[in-house]
Chain A
Amino acid sequence: MTPFLIVDGIAAAMPAANIDTDVIMPKVFLKGIDRRGLAAGLFHDLRFDADGRPRPDFILNRPGYAAARFLLVGPNFGCGSSREHAVWGLRQFGIRALIGTSFAGIFTDNAANNGLLLLSLDPDRLAPLMAAAEAAPLPLEVDLGDRCIRHAGGALRFDIDEDARAALMSGLDRIGTSLAKADRIRAFERDYLAERPWLADA
């Protein structure tokens, strides 16, 4: 996992509420057995028409937005299906952070497991950025160490869970970290199954 320290790039605006993971990564891209090739599927039905031609109105097809590294998004982004393919696709497309007001639960966990930074701002703090990014490609710098978004008009501080921040900055192997606690898990399991023998054979 690529550590996230300071990232700069263009931000694009997708202000609609409830953008779900079916829209982020449609079903026809879910039939692999590896994580590859998902940049092509990202927002597929919004990006391309039925004949596979880019829709010129879609934000990421407009001039200056194709290399976006940030998306400014509406409430409850990532709702619906648990498919981690949505997050893999965003990362493979080059997106490093989503800046919104709220994110769905499973999507939040999937993002954390793949080094995709999710930032939640109050709606009135997000609105000026959203308006600017809807008008023109908006250059931003996101500094995770400093907890700060910098743009031409100034800087915005943000709050983030300390553990999430540390994990993003170091790119930790979460399974390895948990397996280092194997003795604790084993001891828990022994007591738990002794109390609930009906679960001992699983």
Chain B
Amino acid sequence: MTSGRTLYDKIIDRHKVMSLNGLDGPGETLLLYIDRTVLNEYTSPQAFSGLREAGRALWRPAAALGVIDHVNSTAPVRDNDSADRDAARQMQYFLENGRDFGIEIYDVLHPLQGIEHVVLPDIGWVMPGLVIAAGDSHTTTYGAFGSVGFGIGTSDIEHLLATQCVIYHRLKTMRATIDGSLAPGVTAKDVIMALIRQIGASGASGHALEFAGDAIMAMGVEERMTICNMAVECGARVALVRPDAKVLRYMAGRPRSIAPHHLEQAERVWADLNSDADARFDTEVRLHASDVAPMVTWGTSPDQAATIDGRVPDPARLPEAEARATRQAIDYMGLVPDMALDEIRIDRAFIGSCTNARLSDLRDAARILEGRKVADGVRAIVSPGSSTVRREAEAEGLDRIFTSAGFEWRQSGCSMCLAMNDDVLAPGQRCASSTNRNFEGRQGSGGRTHLMSPAMVAAAAVRGRLADVRDFSAIGARA
């Protein structure tokens, strides 16, 4: 008797044009049909140049949308030009490609502009059962809708634009079951950071990672996006959550969402979007939600993390292989072995990125900041995930809470998550950041990044050092 199929395999099977190596299932290489892609200005230009040189047309221009997000300024006043000549050239070539190939582009003046993985859900263009491939590793975000999303390089963008397909190697499957409920002050960000610490930076490498369990299903869609987004930091190429009624409610009424007259038919197809009860996963991991506490990273890889009440590890007490990496990370980060994490002083605080800059994230941070001030000597900025999120936050008055506390209320873009624009750490500066990567130099050459949830960033900004958000909830201004 054959066992049931996983959600991942169901979606891949339905998008398979043909096998390319004669296999069907594990180890298969196939031609995979891609429903949609989103393009940005920095990973797409060479793909368009390749199409131009070969005289190739786009297979399906309407299946692509372009968004400027990586290199643009987040200065409060918007301008399509950039003081940075190279960035200006990338943006201008992107618009030219949009015109010449018939792709709609959201430039920085467009009311729906923002970070690509925030924009697509914003406009309702992500829905269950799709395959979305895009030139950015955090395309895994769309798993929150029950869609297979994965990052590709520029050569594969060119292949996708010309053929609507990619040459695809079927992944193995992994399930992370997270049961129980989260304690107050603990967020989706802490859950995914705890999982990454548990299984390591390559723990899910070569796998599609499905998240299941009470704690996941109790989360809202935006929290699930945070989880799926950051799954790539433990090596997962695809992340998935079974789509439920919350997903349908989230999509409803958004400008490019499914037309109401198709909904009944679509829901019949979507009803099968779950892993069969007897489906077998290649790997299973478990995490109890009640064991998760607020997390921060101390090192230069996302798995070098600990709970906020913990300490910087002491390499002298570690096996040699691990000690070498730990020593190198602590050295780069300018830390001392065994120091308490909540003694680490910060220079900067950043709330933004496709991981944690949606409306619910800004609300979480604002709850901590209301009636409080950013510590002296800390420069704090918030870059909403999209222009839509920015407007929605302003309608609730969140912008005033941030600015009263001393945060700069910026425009939208990838900003200091990867610092391709002018939002950059100076060498040696230390930042509490709601982003996804603490790599050496990620936020600026010589810069030091501590990853955490948006509420934890707010707490750190107020204290001037890494801080436990749970110490704040009881003494909030509204309490």
Chain A residues packing against B (C-beta within 8 Å): 16-18, 20, 22-23, 26-28, 30-35, 45, 50, 75-76, 79-84, 87, 102, 104-106, 109-110, 113-114, 162-163, 174-175, 178-179, 181-182, 184-185, 188-189, 192, 195-199, 201-202
Contact = CB atoms under 8 A, between A and B. Distances in A.
24 contacts: A16-B324, A16-B325, A16-B328, A20-B301, A22-B439, A23-B439, A28-B445, A31-B84, A31-B87, A31-B89, A81-B418, A82-B135, A83-B43, A105-B235, A106-B137, A174-B155, A175-B159, A178-B163, A185-B17, A185-B163, A189-B33, A198-B258, A198-B259, A201-B62
Interface of B: 14-15, 17-18, 20-21, 29, 31, 33, 35-36, 42-43, 45-46, 49, 54, 56, 59-60, 62-63, 71, 84, 86-87, 89-90, 93, 127, 130, 135-137, 150-156, 158-159, 162-165, 167, 201-202, 205-206, 235, 237, 258-259, 262, 265-266, 269, 301, 324-325, 328, 418-420, 427, 437, 439-442, 445-446
Contact of B18 (A33, A83, A87, A181): A181
Contact of B237 (A33, A50, A106, A182): A106
What are the 6 A-B residue pairs with the smallest beta carbon separation, nearest first?
A31-B86, A202-B62, A113-B155, A84-B153, A198-B262, A110-B153
A33 B167 CA distance: 25
Contact of A79 (B59, B86, B202, B418): B202
A82 B137 contact: yes
Contact of B442 (A16, A22, A104, A196): A22
B137 A81 contact: yes
Contacts of A82: 43, 135-137, 151-153
Contact of A198 (B60, B162, B237, B266): B266
A87 B152 CA distance: 13
Nearest to B266: A198
Nearest to A196: B269
Given A79-B202, A197-B265, A198-B259, A179 B418 contact: no
A6 to B, nearest CB: 25
* Residue with the highest number of chain B CB atoms closer than 10 Å, among A45, A50, A81: A81
Given A33-B90, A82-B43, A22 B202 contact: no
Contacts of A20: 301, 437, 439
A83 B31 CA distance: 23
* Residue with the highest number of chain B CB atoms closer than 10 Å, among A102, A105, A189, A201: A105
Nearest to B304: A18
B31 A184 contact: yes
Nearest to B42: A30
A23 B325 CA distance: 15
A79 B259 contact: no
A113 B21 contact: no
Given A105-B237, A106-B153, A45 B43 contact: no
A156 to B, nearest CB: 22
Contacts of B420: 27, 30-31
B437 A34 contact: no
Given A31-B87, A32-B86, A196-B266, A45 B441 contact: yes
* Residue with the highest number of chain B CB atoms closer than 10 Å, among A31, A34, A76, A195: A31
B21 A76 contact: no
Contact of B418 (A22, A33, A34, A163): A22
Nearest to A202: B62
A129 B233 CA distance: 29
Contacts of A28: 445
B165 A87 contact: no
